[in-house]
Amino acid sequence: MTAPAPSISTPTGSPAIRAAQSFLNSRDYPTKANFKPLVVDGVSGPLTETALIKVYQYFAGVNTDGKFGPISKRAANTLRRGSTHQWWVRLLQSALNANGYKLAVDGDFGVGTEKAVRDFQSSRRITSDGIAGANTWEQ
């Protein structure tokens, strides 16, 4: 009798969502923004969505309740191609990835991130200008 072949474990889910989840778990954000570290499984669900909002709120300096309301919207940081706010850009890229895009979470708001923002805005029927402002963050 021959021994069974060893099983090879491969990651599941979307690599882009795994990158977003890894970012959300980095730099002690779970503690700073008050959420349990995410399982990096590549599946965007309610825990990933709440973590995105809470890290946004942490960055914005507002209450980290995980609900995007008027106070969170008013605190929006406007980002556009060339923005140098690398942690905000990483958060934006992570949020886009959680919505089906496949961006590197690298903090570089370049042509690819701008195109993803435009496409996202168009899909949500808001002004498609490639600039992530309050209305884009709210979506």
How far apart (Å, rounded) are the C-alpha atoms in residues 91 and 132?
Answer: 11
3-state secondary structure (DSSP) of residue 37? coil
Specify the pLDDT at position 11.
Answer: 66
Specify the pLDDT at position 12.
Answer: 79
Q: What domains sit in the chain, N to C, each tagged with a CATH number?
A: 15-138 (1.10.101.10)
Who contacts 75 (Cβ-Cβ below 8 Å, separation ≥6)?
57, 60, 61, 62
Cα torsion at 50, 51, 52, 55 (round to 10°)?
130
Q: Would you say 22 and 52 are in contact if contact means Cβ atoms under 8 Å apart?
A: no
The pLDDT tens digits along the chain (139 residues) read 444 444 444 567 999 999 999 999 999 999 999 999 999 999 999 999 999 999 999 999 999 999 999 999 999 999 999 999 999 999 999 999 999 999 999 999 999 999 999 999 999 999 999 999 999 999 9
How far apart (Å, rounded) are the C-alpha atoms in residues 42 and 20?
Answer: 8
